[in-house]
Amino acid sequence: MARRGSLVKAGIEMSDGVPHVGAVVTNEFSDWSLAPVQEWKNRMVTIRASFLADALILRARIDKGNGGQFVSHRFLIQAM
């Protein structure tokens, strides 16, 4: 069970006109991660969250026909 004040936020952020896929994870302290995806500008993006053992995995993709293009981040979820 998550502790009060713990959160994960994922989405697309614009910085200097360039789209970035990003995530913020807060569990006592916050960690912010960004990855530039210039070629995704003006494209529909799907973000998926899933668990694997003790990790939360965030994946983002655009549809490019056969399989799409992925960006993946993995975060360790500590026992509460």
pLDDT digits (tens, 9 = 90+) for 7-32: 888 988 888 888 888 888 888 888 88
- Per-residue pLDDT at 3: 63
Domains of the chain, residue spans: 7-76
Q: How far is CA 45 from the centre of its chain?
A: 11
Distance CA 70, CA 62 (A): 7
Q: What pTM was computed for the model?
A: 0.66
Please, which pLDDT band fits residue 78 given cuts at 50, 70 and 90?
A: very low
Token digits for 21?
A: 């896929």
pLDDT digits (tens, 9 = 90+) for 45-56: 888 888 888 788
| Mean pLDDT computed over every residue of the chain | 77
- Per-residue pLDDT at 69: 57
